[in-house]
Amino acid sequence: MDKKIKILVVPSDHGGCGFFRSTQPHLYIAEHYSDLFDIEIMYHLPTDTPLDQFLSKYDIVHIHEHRQTLAIFTSHFARKNNRNRSTKS
């Protein structure tokens, strides 16, 4: 494989479900398949960069239910949708 697959992981929390469903599986992948995958774990997405621009750096994005992340997605797509509507008029 020429290029590593870049995975962004956004766990729901530091323990419990976020730990067992998001963090642990991806740490395992990073430990055993580091030649194939580049894993980045973030607990909060940045708000100073357009979401589509930020996410475009990754091949796979794993988001475990996360209220802050869902709010960012919702506002991003609402803004994008409103922009698209205003250009069609």
User: In this predicted model, what pLDDT tens digit does every residue of 62-85 receive, in sequence order?
Assistant: 888 766 666 666 666 666 656 555
Domain count, the chain: 1
Domain that includes residue 33, residue range: 5-88
- The pLDDT mean for the chain works out to 81
Torsion sign across C-alpha atoms 65, 69, 27, 14: negative
Task: State the pLDDT at residue 1.
Answer: 56
Find, among 5, 6, 11, the residue nearest to 64 by Cα. Answer: 11
Beta bridge partners of 5: 37
Q: How far apart are CA 38 and CA 26, in angstroms?
A: 10
